């Protein structure tokens, strides 16, 4: 296999593992911060790494439009471009293109769409998506998929899932194997167990370095998402990493790890950091709220991040009210630290065989 994955401990359906790419060892279960347009917003790469992160996400859609994949390749690849020496997973561009709605047309060959930046016309095929991700120098490439909105008619989800399967086969064929680099297939099928099963079987037939579960956290609700995971995850190979795309809230992560998911990404911690929302062990805190104006206490006394060790809630409140960039910087740092620490705790719980208890205590505290 192009990238190595080893499971080092199990606890129920949950797994403790290690993913070895060309750039780094990634301890799993792992949360991957979003480096959308070649930067984890409001963070230096050093700051991202200081939270413990060893893999970030890059967005094919954003980077192909600006500054362009060929340009990044000429400049030495995305790792060098954004000064990130650790691993990078890139998405296929499919999800963002799908959300362009009226601005795109789907055909068997691929998707044509108009850029949200300047209206220019672009085409994204499975082959082009893989080529872009290889130009970026991604450690983990994602196969191009189509994701139907929720809710959608069964027939629409079925034909979309089948298109995704055909695109997956073309993506796999277009991907040039290299040591330390891999490609993941994406299981679709909406909330329908039989479609998820067919999709999973098809992906396994094609054979990928890892398997993603796509098309969730788009409005179906946590209970339904967990039901889909209960039906889907057991179908995936034991010896390959499993990635739940675009998820999620802390409680989503805990529930999904309990169900055997190894990898996550979500804009929630970074986006929340720019809107004064902070995650803590005692729930979510809105720093813009006036009750923090005179509070000398740290945001989270149990957190060791720079925002919590150096500043009061009163100061973070002041920064958010004044619209100061440092507010976004500190709260993004904190939120990424919170997510990283949550994963550290879950990894430790799996090793000790106590993840169920951890999950129960977590649900209690939230």
Binding residues for its own copies (CB under 8 A): 37-39, 41-46, 66-67, 71, 74-76, 81-83, 274, 293-294, 296, 306, 310-312, 314-315, 317-319, 321-322, 324-326, 328-330
Q: Tell me whether residue 32 or residue 42 sits nearer to its own copies (CB atom).
A: 42
Q: Tell me whether residue 15 or residue 292 sits nearer to its own copies (CB atom).
A: 292
Q: Tell me whether residue 296 or residue 304 sits nearer to its own copies (CB atom).
A: 296
Residues 285 and 301: their CA atoms lie apart, in Å, by: 13
Q: How far is the CB of 179 from its own copies (least distance, A)?
A: 26
Residues 345 and 332: their CA atoms lie apart, in Å, by: 20
Q: Tell me whether residue 76 or residue 151 sits nearer to its own copies (CB atom).
A: 76
Positions annotated as catalytic residues are 91, 265
Cβ-contact 366, 308 below 8 angstroms: no
Cβ-contact 254, 341 below 8 angstroms: no
Tell me how crowded residue 329 is: count the other CB atoms within 10 A of its CB.
Answer: 20
Listed residue (120, 216, 122, 141) closest to 185, CA to CA:
141
* Ramachandran assignment for 211, one of left (phi > 0), alpha (psi -120 to 50 degrees), beta (any other): beta
Q: Tell me whether residue 94 or residue 273 sits nearer to its own copies (CB atom).
A: 273
Q: How far is the CB of 83 from its own copies (least distance, A)?
A: 4
Q: How far is the CB of 235 from its own copies (least distance, A)?
A: 39
Q: How far is the CB of 328 from its own copies (least distance, A)?
A: 6
CA 157 distance to own-chain centroid: 22
CA 269 distance to own-chain centroid: 11
The residues with which 244 forms a beta bridge, in sequence order, are 213, 264
Q: How far is the CB of 27 from its own copies (least distance, A)?
A: 25
* Ramachandran assignment for 28, one of left (phi > 0), alpha (psi -120 to 50 degrees), beta (any other): beta
């Amino acid at each position: 296999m192009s990238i190595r994955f080893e499971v080092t401990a199990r606890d129920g359906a949950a797994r403790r593992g290690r993913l070895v790419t060309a750039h780094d060892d990634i301890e799993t279960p792992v949360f991957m911060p979003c480096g959308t347009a070649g930067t984890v917003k409001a963070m230096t790469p050093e700051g991202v790494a200081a939270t413990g992160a060893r893999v970030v996400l890059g967005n094919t859609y954003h980077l192909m439009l600006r500054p362009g994949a060929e340009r990044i390749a000429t400049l030495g690849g995305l790792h060098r471009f954004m000064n990130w020496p650790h691993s990078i997973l890139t998405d296929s561009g499919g999800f963002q293109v799908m959300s362009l709605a009226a601005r795109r047309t789907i055909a068997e060959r691929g998707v044509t769409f108009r850029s949200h930046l300047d209206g220019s016309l672009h085409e994204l095929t499975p082959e082009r998506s893989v080529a872009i991700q290889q130009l970026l120098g991604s450690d983990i490439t994602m196969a191009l998929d189509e994701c139907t909105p929720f809710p959608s008619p069964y027939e629409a989800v079925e034909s979309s899932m089948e298109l995704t399967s055909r695109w997956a086969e073309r993506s796999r064929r277009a991907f040039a194997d290299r040591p330390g680099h891999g490609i993941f297939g994406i299981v679709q099928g909406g909330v329908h167990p039989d479609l998820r099963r067919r999709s999973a079987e098809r992906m396994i037939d094609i054979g990928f370095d890892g398997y993603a579960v796509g098309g969730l956290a788009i409005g179906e609700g946590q209970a339904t998402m967990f039901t889909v995971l209960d039906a889907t995850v057991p179908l995936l190979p034991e010896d390959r990493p499993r990635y739940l795309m675009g998820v999620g809230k802390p409680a989503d992560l805990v529930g999904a790890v309990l169900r055997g998911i190894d990898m996550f990404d979500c804009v929630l911690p970074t986006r929340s950091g720019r809107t004064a929302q902070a995650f803590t062990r005692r729930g979510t805190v809105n720093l813009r709220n006036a009750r923090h104006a005179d509070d000398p206490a740290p945001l989270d006394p149990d957190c060791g991040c720079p925002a919590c060790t150096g500043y009061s809630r009163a100061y973070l409140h002041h920064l958010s009210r004044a619209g100061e960039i440092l507010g976004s910087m500190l709260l993004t740092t904190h939120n990424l630290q919170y997510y990283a620490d949550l994963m550290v705790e879950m990894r430790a719980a799996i090793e000790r065989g106590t993840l169920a208890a951890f999950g129960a205590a977590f649900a209690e505290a939230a």
